[in-house]
Amino acid sequence: MQKLTNNELGRPTLSTYHQLEKLPLILVLDNVRSALNVGSSFRTADAFRIEAIYLCGITATPPNKEILKTALGATDSVKWVYFEDTLEAVQQLKSNQYTVIAIEQTQNSTMLNKANFIAQKTAVVLGHEMDGVQQSVINSCDYCIEIPQEGTKHSLNVSVCAGILCWEYYRQNLTPQ
Amino acid sequence: MQKLTNNELGRPTLSTYHQLEKLPLILVLDNVRSALNVGSSFRTADAFRIEAIYLCGITATPPNKEILKTALGATDSVKWVYFEDTLEAVQQLKSNQYTVIAIEQTQNSTMLNKANFIAQKTAVVLGHEMDGVQQSVINSCDYCIEIPQEGTKHSLNVSVCAGILCWEYYRQNLTPQ
């Protein structure tokens, strides 16, 4: 069980990565306050080869010192677009045939373990650390997914949510080996 | 798709939570440098009702201002134990019949999508942000699990890893509904 060296991991170079086909998953950050959470989401998006991150409203954009701290360069590999208004991002995604899903605890939300992401063009909207996804944005989404949680706290950290969502999408779409 | 209020979420109180049966999953943090990552792992552990977090070596312990920032009180709900030496934690877990798994990119590692956590007493060891899990600790584990990654970066953020591992364990052990 010898640890692999960075070389042995065989990660793609930046230019190779840019040419790889991406999974049709887009993260939409709706007014995420912490640039550290934004950076960490970039790093996750890079690892799972997802299509893009849409940064909306007050969400910080690169170049940004705090994003850099947690993205560690993944802002160069992952495509990103800024929208002043999250609703505009949602409308554009819908007109491009993406299913747009808010990650929120709502009436009639679908639990993540019941969600089907197989071969779906999907955008997931993650919200502000305290306030979550705006209700007006939720109303314009196709449906809501909730990560089942049983603890004393009301929610997970937003970059951890992004990680769980990306993993679940990636896992479901892995080619059986 | 109205957002639920905190009251409507029906989260348990601290005293109710302490009495709940926990999932037999223990997170072992082997020299995790950032107290923010430690706090975030507490918050995740609380959400998925896991048994405990073992904090080893240089890993910060509560009370700690930075842990508090990301744990948001989950240090009160989640059981934790400090070990100066991670190897001691691993030995204790093994003698209590836990399967101890290092999360690392190693020769012969098992990809996470092939891992079986159903009804297993499990401890997962997560390592230092730059150096990963110590080789001596890996050598004392039962096996290694690797989160498949295809990006330009060599690894995920450690608190995101903890989130993905806890979710995967929780998902596999959810009672079919």
Taking an 8 Å cut-off on Cβ atoms, the answer to whether B107 and A147 are in contact is no
CA A129 centroid distance within chain: 14
pTM (predicted TM-score): 0.97
pLDDT exceeding 70 applies to what percent of chain B?
99
| Domains of chain B, each with CATH number or no CATH | 19-173 (3.40.1280.10)
B160 touches chain A (CB under 8 A): yes
For residue A60, the tally of other CB atoms under 10 A from its CB is: 20
Residues of A in contact with B35 (CB under 8 A): none
pLDDT at A119: 85
The A residues from 21 to 80 touching B (CB cutoff 8 Å) are 36, 40, 43-49, 70, 72-74, 76-77
Question: Could you give phi then psi for residue B62, rounded to 5 degrees?
Answer: -65, 150
Whether the ω angle into residue A12 lies within 30 degrees of 0, i.e. cis, is no
Tell me, what amino acid is at A111? M
- How distant is the Cα of B39 from the closest Cα of chain A, in angstroms? 10
Whether the ω angle into residue A176 lies within 30 degrees of 0, i.e. cis, is no
Residues of A in contact with B141 (CB under 8 A): 1
Taking an 8 Å cut-off on Cβ atoms, the answer to whether B43 and A156 are in contact is yes
Q: What is the pLDDT of residues A14-53, one digit of tens each?
A: 999 999 999 999 999 999 999 999 999 999 999 999 999 9
ipTM: 0.97
pLDDT at B119: 85
CA-CA distances (angstroms) from residue B116 to A160, A174, B145, B148, B176? 22, 16, 11, 15, 16
pLDDT at A176: 56
Largest CA distance in chain B: 51
